[in-house]
A and B are shown apart, each in its own frame.
Chain A
Amino acid sequence: MNIYQPHLMRIQEITDETADTRTLKLEFKDPSVAEKFQFSAGQFGEYSVFGEGESTFCIASPPTRTGYIECSFKATGKVTQALRRLSVGDTLGFRGPYGNHFPLEEMKGHSVVFIAGGIGLAPVRCVIWNVLDLRDQFKDVTIIYGARTVDDLVYKRELEEWAQRSDVKLCLAVDPGGETPDWKGLVARIPTAVETAVTTAEDSFAVICGPPIMIKFTLPVLAKLGFPGERIYTTLENRMKCGLGKCGRCNIGPTYVCKDGPVFTAAQIQELPQEF
């Protein structure tokens, strides 16, 4: 069995989240694979356009919903531009699931605070739905999500769904200057939004994903609230090719992002050599 051989996927649905971010809903062409396919929240895959190459994204849909997977991406390079040129019904490749995952089992019975910025909502969204699909196994669920402008918010239809739910505390924010006249959410950067929306770290886990600068300024806020490094989870990215530990590219010191990650605690990240 050639580990580099991808599954063939058919594009079922395309959603443009923003001007530059697109979500693809994919189904396995081989029904026997579709039946058996399982993954855990936080894992990633190598998505490919045949003839252009492979690209690494998390699996953005939750493991509780079977029969399809989703990915969200921005068209920045050769492969992502090629992905954007595909239409519903087109075929692409998928290798995965790779990497470790968020510790859902550990989080059960506790509260979870989700914090995301921009396209960073994609990996977090997977965990959010995983938790919401098993809602009664968790205590309080808080979601703090922001972007530079209203247009940059992704998964807009799901943000509305979460806003309607009484068992979710949703706090949306846009950066100062990014609001529209009818914007009802906060006008603040994420670290400030977290200060406003989160009052306690008691019995809580934090799941955070977004631009490095957002994380840099939010972690001290979480620390001040009393979140220990071991209960703050995030994901790391690095340039990847094989995704399964052989090509030697994604390591940060002795840690391989594709094998030991992509999910890490803030405590683990502090121990890493600063080479990412």
Chain B
Amino acid sequence: MKELQELAHKLLSDGTVKVVIGYEEGPRGVRPAFITDAAQAGTLIFDKRCVQNLAAYLNPRRKQITQLGKAAIVVKGCDARSVAGLIREKQVERDNLVIIAVRCGGVLESPEADRELTSETVSVRCAGCVDREPKLYDYLTGEVLPEPPVNTRRTEQIAELEKMSPADRWKFWTGELSRCIRCHACREACPMCFCVQCTAEKTQPQWIDPSPTPRGNRAWQTMRVLHQAGRCVDCLECERACPEHIPLGLLARYVADSVERRFEYTASEDPSVRAPLGVFRNDDGEEFIR
């Protein structure tokens, strides 16, 4: 942590960056920090409560942040994959960003209460993580931490879903999505949802019904998760933001797994690696064209 704080202090004092986007202690646990004054660099922390994916704050539409100037961002390995996505898709210029990666030992589900990492408390997304030693960075900080316990809850849920008949699965998702109120918090919290005009907001034609009805909700959520295919890093910010507690991460993970199976690809930490949705290869499968 001291390493991180000193690095932030240096980057701000020598003018390399104008703001360090990281984590700090807030009234309700860990919260995102925007340090513009080198004297405040000591407030930066990193621990297992640092759940948030801060890459969302690099969205070029967030003018209140971009106008602060060049940023440094603190990322875990998973977050770095979002940053890579933003660079790959030309939303962020690599030269205009300082990436401070932190070695991670797994995170809890919530940034609020501190507790021991167990197979019950660790976030489901840490299961199978290969990014604990980040690869995209300007600076790599923190000590190597032990591998976190594995929370199998979601793997089990997905296995259950895969066993269901399509009709039962339809019923399951219609039920879960019936709670959706179309607040779009999932979209706003997602680092990869940076479109100036979301497809859901196009009115001519109205592709997606705007009202929270079963039809509109199914259309909205399936469209969003498909637009995330190959781009989503499973940060679960969507699920954390959802005021109706819909298991959005379940849907996102399922699509990510499908992309991995079909294209042998997960959202890469290397911005130069092309993502399946942006590439056509001659050997792409076409068995669905009959």
Contact = CB atoms under 8 A, between A and B. Distances in A.
Interface of A: 77-78, 81
Contacts of B204: 77-78, 81
B45 to A, nearest CB: 37
B203 interface: yes
Contacts of A77: 203-204
Contacts of A78: 203-204, 206
Nearest to A53: B203
Interface string B178-216: 000000000000000000000000011010000000000
Contacts of A81: 204
Nearest to A79: B203
Interface class of chain A by DSSP: helix
A81 B206 CA distance: 13
Interface of B: 203-204, 206
Chain B, interface SS category: strand
6 closest A-B pairs by beta carbon, nearest first, are A78-B203, A78-B204, A77-B203, A81-B204, A78-B206, A77-B204
A78 B204 CA distance: 6
Contacts of B203: 77-78
Nearest to A77: B203
A214 to B, nearest CB: 28
A77 B206 CA distance: 12
Nearest to A78: B203
A17 B203 CA distance: 26
A78 to B, nearest CB: 4
A275 to B, nearest CB: 15
6 contacts: A77-B203, A77-B204, A78-B203, A78-B204, A78-B206, A81-B204
A78 B280 CA distance: 35
B137 to A, nearest CB: 41
A20 to B, nearest CB: 16
A81 B203 CA distance: 11
Contacts of B206: 78
A81 B205 CA distance: 11
A115 B19 CA distance: 49
A51 to B, nearest CB: 10
Nearest to A81: B204
A77 B202 CA distance: 10
Nearest to B206: A78
A144 B242 CA distance: 54
A138 B203 CA distance: 46
A77 B203 CA distance: 8
Nearest to B205: A78
Nearest to B202: A78
A269 B206 CA distance: 36
A78 B203 CA distance: 6
A56 B206 CA distance: 20
B204 to A, nearest CB: 5
A95 B218 CA distance: 33
A84 to B, nearest CB: 12
A55 to B, nearest CB: 12
Nearest to B204: A78
A22 B203 CA distance: 21
A185 to B, nearest CB: 37
A81 B204 CA distance: 9
A38 to B, nearest CB: 34
B153 to A, nearest CB: 40
A24 B217 CA distance: 36
